Amino acid sequence: MRIRETGDLWWKTAVIYCLDVETFMDWDDDGIGDLQGLTQRIDHLADLGVTCLWLMPFYPTADRDDGYDITDFLGVDPRLGDVGDLVRLIRTARDRGIRVIADLVVNHTSDRHPWFRSARRSKDSPYRDYYVWSATKPPDTSDQVVFPDQEAGIWTLDEATGEWYRHRFYRHQPDLNTANPRVRDEIAKVVGYWMQLGLSGFRVDAVPFFLADTAKHPGDDLQDPHDYLRDLRSFLSRRAGDAVLMGEVNLPYDQQRQFFGDDDGDGTADGTELTLQFDFVAMQQMYLSLARRDARPLAATLGTRPTIPRDAQWATFVRNHDELTLDKLSDDERAEVFAAFGPAEEMQLYGRGLRRRLPTMLDGDPRRIRMVYSLLFSLPGTPVLFYGEEIGMGENLAAEGRMAVRTPMQWTDERNGGFSRAAPSRLPGPVVEDGYGPAHVNVAAQRLDPDSLLAFIRLLVRRYRESPELGWAREVEILSQPHDAVLAHRSTWDDGSMVALHNLAPEPVVVPLELHDCSGDGPPARLVDLLETAETEVDARGRVELELPGYGFRWLRVVHETERRLI
Per-residue pLDDT of the chain (567 residues; tens, 9 = 90+): 577 777 889 999 999 999 999 999 999 999 999 999 999 999 999 999 999 999 999 999 999 999 999 999 999 999 999 999 999 999 999 999 999 999 999 999 999 999 999 999 999 999 999 999 999 999 999 999 999 889 999 999 999 999 999 999 999 999 999 999 999 999 999 999 999 999 999 999 999 999 999 988 777 788 899 999 999 999 999 999 999 999 999 999 999 999 999 767 677 789 999 999 999 999 999 999 999 999 999 999 999 999 999 999 999 999 999 999 999 999 999 999 999 999 999 999 999 999 999 999 999 999 999 999 999 999 999 999 999 999 999 999 999 999 999 999 999 999 999 999 999 999 999 999 999 999 999 999 999 999 999 999 999 999 999 999 999 998 999 999 999 999 999 999 998 999 999 999 999 999 999 998 887 766 679 999 999 999 999 998 999 999 999 999 999 999 987 777 877
The whole-angstrom separation of Cα 369 and Cα 457 is 11
Q: Which of 65, 69, 85, 205 is catalytic?
A: 205
Q: Which of 22, 111, 175, 248 is catalytic?
A: 248
Protein fold of 473-560: Immunoglobulin-like (2.60.40)
Task: Note if 273 is an active site residue.
Answer: no
Show Cβ contacts of residue 77 under 8 Å, excluding neighbours closer than 6 positions: 58, 59, 60, 61, 67
Residue 7's pLDDT is: 80
The separation between CA 157 and the C-alpha centre of its own chain, rounded to angstroms, equals: 35
Greatest Cα pair distance, the chain, in angstroms, is 83
DSSP 3-state of 47: helix
Residue 2's pLDDT is: 75
Residue 164's pLDDT is: 98
The whole-angstrom separation of Cα 468 and Cα 470 is 5
What amino acid occupies position 67? G
Protein fold of 114-166: Oligo-1,6-glucosidase; domain 2 (3.90.400)
Cβ density class 243-278: b for 16+ within 10 Å, e for less: bbbbbbbbbebeebbbbbbbeeeebeeebbbbbbbb
CA distances (Å), origin 390, targets 311, 435, 564: 28, 16, 32
Q: What are phi and psi of 463, to 5 degrees?
A: -70, -35
What amino acid occupies position 320? N
Q: Are strands 99-104 and 133-134 parallel, antiparallel or unpaired?
A: unpaired
Contact of 2 with 494, CB cutoff 8 Å: yes
The whole-angstrom separation of Cα 262 and Cα 468 is 23
Q: Domain residue spans in the chain?
A: 114-166, 473-560
Task: Note if 535 is an active site residue.
Answer: no
